Amino acid sequence: MSRFKLYIEYEGTRYSGWQMQKQSKTVQGKLYEIAERIFKGERLEIYGSGRTDAGVHALCQVAHLEAKTMLAPEIIRMKFNDELPSDINIIEVEKVNPKFHARHDAKSRSYIYQISRRRTAFGKPFVWWIKDDLNFEKMNNASKLFIGMHDYRSFSDKDDEEKSTKVLIEKIQMEEDGDMILIRIIGSHFLWKQVRRMIGVLVEIGRGKLTEKDLKYFLEHNSPTPAQLTAPPSGLFLERVIYGSEKHEENFDPIIKITSFERSRT
């Protein structure tokens, strides 16, 4: 048996998330379907670095593939991409140590969320359009309260696969780019729906309907409020999964550019 590391990008709009589910179309399920044809019924394992929710996208999800094969990594990549739909793409395949595990060996993950301040004809599947005015400074200041180790039980649904609701948030960056607000969150791992609920709370602070005091309360007590504010999946992207001595890039850019409209004056 050989083990390979897969770097995968996908648009999540048509999928019920990464993880295989009965009677639902998922990214992992589609990869398994094609792998069974490539490796002709041999025993397989395809395991991702973590789940993404239904409708969430990935710029670079990482998975490991274990299969009995003599195929070179580049041939495996080409065979997958020949059969994958246009919204899933294998960026790269590399052969790795048989002990490598996509999830257990991951050191941290980063997500990017995109908020648009205007309606867009091109970016709807990739942003959350918010009509209300948002106070960027209040959102940015409040976001720093997430940094560090906190209990995110208020920000996640009950999940039997998770042993703890404590998560270490290493860094949060917020930027304005044209009519976009970009939020990047880097953490040790993330709970089910956690990032989208963090975004939802920050947006309510930007609207002036919540305060930093409310956010502190959600981090210290069990509250149903963040669940009611869950941001839509369309604006969320798994940006990168970090292993070993790798480091996150300091800068990040919008996935789709939405510029501020200025009418020409003559």
pLDDT at 160: 65
pLDDT at 263: 56
The 10s digit of each residue's pLDDT in 209-266 is: 999 999 999 999 999 999 999 999 999 999 999 999 898 888 888 888 777 766 555 4
- 177 flagged as catalytic: no
82-114 as b/e: b if 16+ CB within 10 A: eebeeebebeebeebeeebebeebbebbbbbbb
Q: Are 260 and 178 in contact (CB under 8 A)?
A: yes
Strands 148-151 and 180-187: unpaired
Two structure tokens written together for 240: 């990168």
Burial of 220 per CB tally in 10 Å (0-12, 13-18, 19+): exposed
Two structure tokens written together for 73: 């990594």
Question: Distance (Å, rounded) from C-alpha 242 to C-alpha 108?
Answer: 5
Q: Break the chain into its structural domains and give their ranges.
A: 2-95, 107-243
pLDDT at 251: 84
Let me know if the fold of 2-95 is the same as that of 107-243. Answer: yes
Question: Distance (Å, rounded) from C-alpha 168 to C-alpha 215?
Answer: 16
Angle at which helix 27-38 crosses helix 73-83, to 10 degrees, equals: 120
Yes or no: is domain 2-95 CATH 1.10.1740.10? Answer: no
Low-confidence residues of the chain: pLDDT under 50: 266
Yes or no: is domain 107-243 CATH 3.30.70.660? Answer: yes
